[in-house]
Structure 1
Amino acid sequence: MTEECERLLTMRDRVDEVRDRIPRPIEEVYAWHWPTSRQQRELFNVTRDFFEAYYSALSSVSGVIARFVPAFGVNFSDNGPLLKWARAEISELTHDRSTELERARVFRALLAHPQQFPAYDWLTATRDGYEYIHVVLIGPKGRGKNPYPPGTSSEPFAGHGDWHFEAPDEVSVSNCLMSLALSVLARVWVAIAHRSHFHRQQTVEYGLRRLNPAYLDLGAHARGVQSVRDLEDLPPASELPAFR
């Protein structure tokens, strides 16, 4: 799981690298000039690669659960049921985080399985409230009982298409996935501790403190995931969490 999560963070950073090559007006921080067709294509390709990395990392979390079936009592062959289970069983996985993970899963499905959904086109855009240039899928209304792909907004985007689906923010998705992974690993920690006669009984909360100290921000809206090695201004030792 570590390798897949590291790859996810690498792809997260590559999205920003491509985005940063699109010049910005000097007087505005969150604004971009019109990207060239090549820049748009680069952003679309790296966005697609990011969501493939996300799905692979999510599958690796499922693999950990499968490895420790006695601890969880479940096993999954698909990531949709995994997220549904996590939403119900992992209390620290907030509604916002679980919703973001599901949106990312569905967005990736539209990219990876076009035969299952109405045809789509795409564009790049920014909007009020989210100034980072990003990919937006658009398409015509389909036929049958479900004319709109799941997770999409049944409204045109700036006059384009009958529905649209904005790519979930890559940093938010990464942080939410890391939050889920930490929660799963904390439960593995507890399960292993309970087997040993040499360790006192541990709690999930204790495992989370050990794996994710309070001064590391894994919030859904943080623009980065830091490690201890990356922190330039560590708080004084007296302010660090006490691990007992």
Structure 2
Amino acid sequence: MKISYVFLLLALVAEIIGTIGGFGSSVFFVPLGNFYFDFYSVLGMTAIFHLSSNLSKIFFFKKGLDKKLLLYIGAPSVLFVIVGGFLSKMVNGYYLEIVLGIFLVVFSLLFLIKNEIVVLPNKRNAVVGGILSGFSAGLLGTGGAIRGLTMAAFNLEKSAFIATSAFIDFLIDFSRTFVYYENGYIGKQELMYLPFLLVIGLVGTYLGKRILHYIPQDKFKKISLILILLIGLVTIAKIAFNHWGSVSS
């Protein structure tokens, strides 16, 4: 098995953009990884990659941690990522990829067009956001966009947003790594990329933090949503192209 250095470069870009956007790298890493590996391998790699990525974010942004949100969003996220992870084994990866692409496009368009939509900053919404983000992370490989939306309601400063999101994400990834391993998603191929992804997680977070310093708060969310939209469109186009090719042949 050969290492794909183009994939590793894209993983670095995903980590940088994920740090800047505050939604985490998986929202970019998962659909990009699907161009190189099957959906289940990408799920396994994402869990491994995120452990390093989120430890780096916790280290670089640790002063901003919000302990209440860590409890209200983090606890239900950990529980439901396990549920989503086990269910992922029961659904064909092709359909999960379709759902992922549609989810990214709908989510980003909704909040780009209806930017006045807000989630009320209360305990109930924090718990519901944690449940949905955890379940999505386990089933589709990414739940950071939902968690980001929920946390945005609490109007956290950029460092607090990233630190709290990263800590919750770390708990999610730690839990789903065991589930994915049990499902057979983490094997020799995925472990071969482990040392590269560990380094990329650290370097990408550092570079993202440096770039983030120059981005105004009001641009913060919009940049992320535009990038999520583009990734979603590319994911859907790739699925359609592959389907058309299989039908033609």
> Shared fold (TM-score greater than 0.5)?
no
More strand by share: 1
**Which structure's relative contact order is higher, taking Cα pairs within 8 Å and 6+ residues apart?**
2
- Structure holding more helix per residue: 2
| TM-score in terms of structure 2 length | 0.26
Q: Which structure is larger by alpha-carbon Rg, 1 or 2? A: 1
Using the size of structure 1 for normalisation, the TM-score is: 0.26
